[in-house]
Every structure is written in C-alpha cells, then in structure tokens.
Chain A
Amino acid sequence: MIRRVIALTRKEIRQLLRDRSNVLLGIVLPMVLILIFGYGMSLDVRNVPVAVVLDDSSPAARDLTARLSLSEYFAPIVLLSMQEAEQRMRRREVDAIVRIPQDFSRQLGAGGAQVQVLVHGADASRARLIQMYLEAALGQWALHQADEAGGSPGDPGARAEAGVGSVTIVQRLWFNAANTSTWFLVPGLVVLITTLVGAFLTALVVAREWERGTLEALFVTPVRPIEILVAKTLPYFGVGMIGLALCLLAAKFLFHLPMYGSLALILLASVLYMLVALGIGLLISSATKNQFLASQIALVVSFMPALMLSGFLFDLRNMPAPVAALSHVLPATYFLEVLKSLMLAGDIWPTIVRNCLVLALYAAVLLALARVKTRKRLE
C-alpha cells in the first residue's frame, strides 16, 4: 500500500514538474495576482483629478485651492469657467468639480460661505469616497479659517461664530490604520490562490487522466481508489503551500502587513482550507471526467464565488439576505474571515476556533465524498 502510494506520488510529481502549465498555474499566476492586486488594483482614492472653478479670485479662494493641492488625495486643476469644467467632467478627465462662487470671500466675511461640490457618480463607491474626502478637506480648511479669524485658538466663542460645530471628530481606523486596501486584499489573495491551486488544478489533472485513458489502465492493477486519491492530493497540496508561502512573504515584506496573529495558526487555517479546495477539485473531476468541463465547473463553483461572495471584494454585511446566506455556505468565507483577523487583528480565539471547525468539517465531508465517488468503474 505505502509502496504503491509512493510510486503514484512520484509519478504525479514528475508529471507536475514536466508540464509547464502546472508551474504557470501554481507559481507564476499567484505571483502575478500578488502584483496586480497589490499594486495595480488598489481600491484607494489617491491623486483624484478635481476641477476647481474659481469664479472668485480672492486670497481666500486661492488659499482653499492651495489647500486641496497640498492633499495627497487630490490633483486640482484650476479653471475659470464652469462650462469647461463640465466638459472635462463629461470626458471624465476630472472626477469632481469644486466651484467657488463669485461672492465667496464676501460671504465668508459674513460668516457663511457656500462651495459647490459635484462628483462623478458612475463608480458609486469611489464617488462616495471622493465626496467624503472633499468634505473633510473643505471642513478642515474652514476650521482653520475660523481659528485664525477667532484670534486666540481654542476660543469657543469664535468657533461658534464661524458656524463650525464645537465638537472636533478625531477618528481612527482600527486594524488598518492607514485604510490601505492592500491590507484587506492580501488575505483575500491567499484565499483565491489556494482555491485556484486546490480546486482548479486538481480537477484538471484528474480529468486529464480520465480523458487520456490512463486511469482505465491504472484501475486494472492492485491499486485501491484511496491510494490514487492520496497520490493526487499530496503533490498539489505542496504546490498550494508554495503559493501560500509566496503570498505570506509578499504580505510581510512587500506590503508590510502587521501579521498580528501567530504564523502557526495562519498555516493551520490554510492547511484546512487547502484540503477543502482539494476535495472540491477531486469531486468535480470525478463527476465530469473531461478537462474543459472540469475547469469550467471549478471556476464557477470555487474560484468565482471565492472572488465575489467570500467578502473579498464586497462586504458580506451589505449583501441582500439570500446572497449573504449563500456566502455563508461557502468555505472560502470562513477562511477569509479567520485570515483577516489573524493578519490584521491578532489571535482572536472565538473567531479562530469557530471558523477552523467549520473548515475542518467541510474538508472531512468533501474528502469523504471524493473517496466515495472515486470508484474503479467506468460508468
């Protein structure tokens, strides 16, 4: 039994190393994903082009413009006509317009100035972010103006007079203090890559054996189905772990994730999820026996949901109830949750225990099913 498993595993590793597409899928693709998600596909708002329409050329208005250009979030373009700003907005050369009206400085002197803010709303979540940042920038400037106007800082009377609330909000984001999207993208990336290698690659290689008729020859030997399964699982488990290691290294040294949780727990959760993914892959291939179909199904049932529904791209709490319920059927959701808390928050035991138990259960059920489904039969 051990001898047969070793023979089959050796065969599997040889095939894996000889087929360049495996290396591509197992090693190169994770690296490309890390770079794309880490650098290219940031969800942060930075250097947003903003048209500033100066109908008023008073020092106060210019000061406001200067304030915006000092911010790392905006790249203001000063324009003199609203018409031109609108044109630029239509061509989407700018994402927002800040219009400073003619009587801005006069109104400011009178205590209540108005500034018009127009935001391109095609991309709703980005628009909301831009709106928030603009409001914050303008608010801060107003506060500053009020302070100067009021003479002595901290004079409550002056502040009240300037029409700005006396409560200053000091906010801080926990677990991702700089609000860097990379930080929450990296745990998601680990989930994606593990899914890809575990489910997709495994489904493909088993289906390939069906297609080429090699399993048929293998079946009429003393080999037991469980031995075939173990031998298929081991090498791809290894490939998945390499992908995982790449992600973790990138997380630590490229993106400087805090990694509050212990490495051992991160590995434990990953191993459990890897087994789940392998189980899915083995099940798919035993059901389809065709490479093309197996890859399609693996994409649809494992990779796409992991991308869309695990909470990686879209927050679970904002989903409609049925979709959220569906998310909670997905093992990827549990893995992502435990990874996020381990990487960004630390060892939070209730979350870890609960999610790891769910993952272990999934792994056990899926692998048992794969074992039942893998029979030495051609019908």
Chain B
Amino acid sequence: MSAAAPALVARGLGKRFRVRETGQTIEALADISLQVATGALTAIVGPDGAGKTTFMRLAGGLMAADSGVLQVLGIDAARDPQAIQNRISYMPQRFGLYEDLSVQENLDLYSDLHGVTAADRRARYAQLMEMTALGPFTTRLAGKLSGGMKQKLGLACTLVRAPELLLLDEPTVGVDPLSRQELWTILEQLAGEQGITVLVSTAYLDEAARCAHVVVMHGGRVLTQGPPSAIRAHATGQCFAATPFEREPARRLQARLLDDALTIDAVPRRGGVHFIRRREAVEQGDPQLGALLRGASCESAEPTMEDGFMVLLGERAARERLTPSGLAPAGAPAQPSGTSPDETVIEVRDLTRKFGDFTAVDHATFTVRRGEIFGLLGPNGAGKTTTFRMLCGLLPATSGFLQVAGHNLRTARAEARRRVGYVAQKFALYGSLSVDENLAFFGGAYGLRGAPLRARRAAVMAQFDLAGRGGTRAGDLPGGFRQRLAMAAGLLHEPEILFLDEPTSGADPLARRAFWRRITALAEGGTTIVVTTHFMEEAEYCDRLVIQDAGRVLALGTPQEIRKEAGETAERRLDMEQAFIEIVARARRDGGARVAA
C-alpha cells in the first residue's frame, strides 16, 4: 500500500434500521462520503444519534451498509469483513474489556488472538506499559480499574500489535477530563511518531481540534468536513466575548443575548459571555447589539470548533425552518413568600457514605442557597452521584448531617421529598403512556388531583412547550421533547428544589443551550437547582459549584473563585475544563505524596 492511498474510503454510504416496536425505519446514515488518510488522526464528531457508532461498526465489518461503497485498507467491507478484521484494531464503546480478567490476562488474550509471538510481546508490553502507566496494576482485575485506566487498557489491547487502522468508538465517554487529555496525548503520539492511522469518534467537538481531519456529523449526515481550521473558519468574524457591565450576572447577559433572533449561540465562559452573531447582522454593523449588551464591554473572539459547528447547524436550521427546540420565556413559578434570597435550603455537614469498606463520599460539607444553580462536578467515581442520591433522599447517609428544605433527611425523609423534584439521568417516565397520562400519574403521586392538577398540568405544558402533544405516547416523543416532559413531571408539584442528574449528556449543543435557558429562567423565578454535569463548560452556568474527586470535596465556590483557586491570573485565563484538570491533578499529586510520605 502506498503512503498516499487512504486507509478508508466511503462513498454514498447509507444504513437504515427498523425499529421493531413501532415498525418505523430510521435512517442512521445517509449518503456518507469521507476518507481517512493513512498515518494521520481523523475524528468523527457529533452528538448522540449522529450515526458515529454505526459508521464505526460498518468500518469494522460488524454491519453491512444498505447502499454505497466502503473500502477499508483497499478491501470491500461488504465482501470480506474477516480480511479487514485481521488487519485492523477496534475499541467499542465501554472499551470491550473482560472485567473479570486481570490487566495482564486481557492483554494476553488479545495478543493470542492476534498471534503476537512471545518475543514481540516482551518489547510491546514494555512500550504499552510505559505509554499507559498501567505497569503497577498488571495483576488487578480490569473491573476494578478507574474509568480512565479502563480506557487506557482498552486502547492497549488494540495495540498489542501495530494495526493498519485503529478504530476507537467514543473512547472518552464517561472518562474524566484529566484522563481524556492523557488519551489524546497518546493518540497524537501514535499518529505522529508511529505513523498509525487512527479514526476516532467523539461527542466533544473541541477534542477534535487535535486531529488532522474532522468529519462533523449530525442526524446521520455529514454536516461538514475538513481540517479543524476550516471548521472554525465558518464562524470567523462572528464570535465575540463580552464582559458584563458592573455587577450584572454573566448568566443574565447570556440569556438576553441568546433570546435575540440574530444570535446563533451564547454561552457563559471565563466569567463573561462568548457569543456568535448571524453573518448578516455582522455585515450590517450590528446596530441592535449595543442595546443587548447594556453597557457590557465586547471584543471579537477566536472561534472554536463548536462555534463553527453551531454556525453550520444554525444555517441548516434556518434553511429547514427549524426553531432550536422552542426557547420558552420564563414562565417560572413565583418565589415563595416570606423567604429571603440568602436563605439556606440545603445544608450538608460531614456527609459520609460507605459501601462496605469503600468510602464513596468522604465528609462532604457545603450549603446551597435559595434560587441558586448549584453544580456537582467530578470525574466518574468521584462520588457525585452518591452525593446526589443522598440529597434527594434516595440513599441514606452513613454519617453526617443533611438538611433539605428545612427537613432533616435522617428523620423526616418523606417531608423533605415532598419539597423536591427529581429528574433522573435516564428517561424515567412511562413510554407507553401519553404525555397527559404521565403528568396525571406523577401529579397523583405527589397528591395533586382535580382542578389543581389540571391547572398545574396546563402550566407545565405551557412552560415546557408541550402544548398539542398531550395525546402523544411519551416513548414516541423525540429526545428533546422527552427531556422536557421529564422536567415538566419533576416540576408539577412546584418543588422548592429541583435535582437534575446529568441532564445534558448526549444532547446536541442546540438542545443543551435550550435546556440551560430554561434552567436559568427557573432559577430567576426562585427555584433552587442542583445539577450534575460532565460538560465542564456548563459549570459556567452555575452560581456556585463543588468539585469532587475520590469522594472528597476538592473545591467549592463560584466559577470565578474555582478558576482563581486553580491558579488563574490576569495573564493566564483558564476555562472551566482547564481549572478542573488543574484542581483534580493537584489533589491527586498531593494525595499521592501523602501516601508516599
């Protein structure tokens, strides 16, 4: 194979699935044409449902396309998948590891399967151990490794011999930012120094900036492709960074900008607001902008990968006359009377939860004030889900003090629960019931019936733009609608506190913006929001947040305070992800030093 020949060529690739329950056919891939250059790093980027995994499986010979041509290493994937599988390596989502085998046993298995000789093995293992830093853990069971270590072991298993093409399907899902950064460093080494061809899929747009070629997918189609600079270039000249005037919260400025028809996107970033204006507005000098800024200073900003994506998506949405999932105005419940804004609604002191001899949450202490958006951030296994469950009263604490909405959760759990709403990470409504029936059921569960129930149901349906969908089965709703229904159900009984567990994971950026717009509106209305997320940039929406790792609270404060704690200076501005990595890495270093001492 000559160096110039691409490792993978797809032309007009299409793939459809039949959904057995409804008999509908969904188009997972439509007219996909792309190339993967030999010896380089190529990324397929897109939100959930974009078709990334389907494409990876087609490339691995695990599925056959319905139309189009797919050649991998010059072999027709439809005709001889085994010939391809002999020469490539593939890491599926969740890494494909045998959790009841040790690190060494996993490596040996894949070496045996790929026919690696004992002599080659010695040299290779040493190299892999150095690369992944798994050396001290060879006898540990794969299931007992942290998410980041599993990811590295999964990668090592694909590298027991040098594959001619390496396929990695969402290797960074569910892995903390620190480990994600390490993985990308390894991938750059593989492609740069060893000349291995890598095709990696990811939902994080900004990760793809490290690749030579990026294919952006959305809804089963290629939205755009090219080098990262070309994708960023779509937003050139349209991006701005605003710093709010005086003491206006950045969130409010962001909401105002986002609600404007000429804004494509606006997100809080580094204490200010990063936003994109429509090209036509910029070209005409943007006379409306000044009124929106209300005195905030504004300068042009470098576009990111996500900005490029948002511009393209925004253009397409405008073409197809799609409104970005209805940004309803703040029809939030009125603030309960007789409460002061600084009132503490959640108080946590020395909260500890043990599972056997494992401490999931270790003496956590923090408070949440009324009307705040409070974030719980941390890598997988940091204890944020456990903390979250204890706050909602779903899991009893081992020790410590925990008061929610004025009720001690150890003595009056039912009372406290009535004051809170909970939206689970997975869709927890009944798919076979209609929207109306679901709301009636959840209202009933909270003791609402008759006229009050009807009134509340109408109110939340208006608030979440569900009008006209009352008769639709919840299972048939599109993803964004489902999440809105889940939120509507959680807010039926007008809770003082709303708990949201990873509400935006897997959603596309448009849906995520719409979601946060609703959340900020709710908080303005006096509802306290406690939210977990693994999108670090979303921490900027929070008034205050805690960062957890290994069960301990590492940092607590406003996003600005957290950035400062991470070592931000006037010269060295940090975004939330960098701050997070800094704080977690520092704590792990100190922890390691403590253990060593």
Whole-angstrom CA separation of A230 from B198 in the bound complex: 33
Which of B62, B105, B114 is close to A216, meaning CB atoms less than 8 Å apart?
Answer: B62
Assess the A3–B97 pair: CB atoms within 8 A: no
Within 8 A of B (CB), among A269-283: none
Is B108 an interface position by the 8 A CB rule? yes
Contacts of B91 in A (CB 8 A): 217
Q: A217-B90, A376-B61 are in contact. Are A15 and B98 (CB under 8 A)?
A: yes
Q: Pick the contact of A11 from B61, B86, B98 — CB < 8 Å?
A: B98
What total of A-B pairs shows CB separation below 8 Å? Answer: 88
> What residues of B have a CB within 8 angstroms of the CB of A222 in the complex?
82, 85-86, 113-115
Interface assignment of B157: CB less than 8 Å from any CB of chain A: yes
- Which chain B residues lie closer than 8 Å to A221 at the CB level? 85-86, 110, 113-114
The complex places the Cα of A378 from the Cα of B81 at a distance, in Å, of 13
**How far does the Cβ of B519 sit from chain A's closest Cβ, in whole Å?**
33
Q: Are B112's CB and A3's CB within 8 A? A: yes
User: Could you tell me the distance in whole angstroms from the C-beta of A288 to the nearest C-beta in chain B?
Assistant: 13
Q: Which of A15, A213, A376 contacts B100 (CB 8 A)?
A: A15
Complex formed: what's the CA distance from A291 to B85 in Å? 27
Are B92 and A217 touching (Cβ within 8 A)? yes
Interface residues of A in 344-379 (CB under 8 A from B): 376-379
Interface positions of B from 77 to 91, Cβ below 8 Å from A: 81-82, 85-86, 88-91
Q: A residues within 8 A CB of B98?
A: 11, 15, 214
Given A217-B91, A220-B61, are A376 and B81 neighbors across the interface (CB < 8 Å)?
yes
Total chain B interface residues with beta-carbon distance under 8 A: 36
State which residues 90-118 of B face A: CB under 8 Å: 90-101, 105, 108-110, 112-115
Contact B92 A216 (CB under 8 A): yes
Q: B85 near A220 (CB under 8 angstroms)?
A: yes
Residues of B within 8 A of A6 (CB): 112
Q: Are B105 and A11 in contact (CB under 8 A)?
A: yes
The listed residue with most A CB atoms (<10 A of its CB), out of B86, B91, B96, B114, is: B96
**Which B residues lie within 8 Å of A317 (CB)?**
none
In the complex, chain A residues whose CB is within 8 Å of the CB of B57: 216, 378
- B60 on the interface (CB 8 Å rule)? yes
Collect the chain A residues with CB atoms within 8 Å of residue B115's CB.
3-4, 222
Q: Tell me, in angstroms, the Cα distance from A14 to B96 when the chains sit together.
A: 17
Whether the pair A213, B86 counts as a contact (CB closer than 8 A) is no
A18, CB-defined interface residue at 8 Å? yes
Closest to A6 in B: B112
In the bound assembly, the distance between CA atoms of A218 and B96 in angstroms comes to 8
**Contact call A379/B85, Cβ cutoff below 8 A:** no
Cα separation A346 to B26 with both chains bound (whole Å): 62
Q: How far is the CA of A289 from the CA of B109 in the complex (A)?
A: 23
Q: Is the CB of B63 within 8 A of A213?
A: no
B167 within 8 Å of A by Cβ?
A: yes
Chain A residues near B108 (CB, 8 Å)?
A: 7
User: What distance in Å separates the Cβ of A199 from its nearest Cβ neighbour in chain B?
Assistant: 22
Report the minimum CB–CB distance from B198 to chain A (whole Å).
15
Inside 8 A of B112's CB, which chain A residues have their CB?
3-4, 6-7
Least Cβ–Cβ distance between A336 and chain B, in angstroms? 35
Does residue A37 face the partner (Cβ distance < 8 Å to B)?
no
Note all chain B residues with C-beta closer than 8 A to A14: 100-101, 105
Interface contact A7-B62, CB-CB below 8 Å: no
- In this assembly, does A219 line the interface, its C-beta being within 8 Å of a C-beta of chain B? yes
Tell whether A19 is near chain B: CB-to-CB under 8 Å: yes
State A216–B95 Cα separation when bound (angstroms).
10
List A residues at the B interface (Cβ < 8 Å). Answer: 3-4, 6-8, 11, 14-15, 18-19, 212-214, 216-224, 376-379
Which residues does B use to contact A, with CB under 8 Å?
Answer: 17, 57, 60-64, 81-82, 85-86, 88-101, 105, 108-110, 112-115, 154, 157, 167
4 tightest Cβ-Cβ pairs between the two chains A and B: A217-B96, A7-B112, A220-B90, A216-B92
4 additional A-B residue pairs with CB within 8 Å, beyond A217-B90, A379-B63: A4-B113, A11-B98, A213-B93, A222-B82
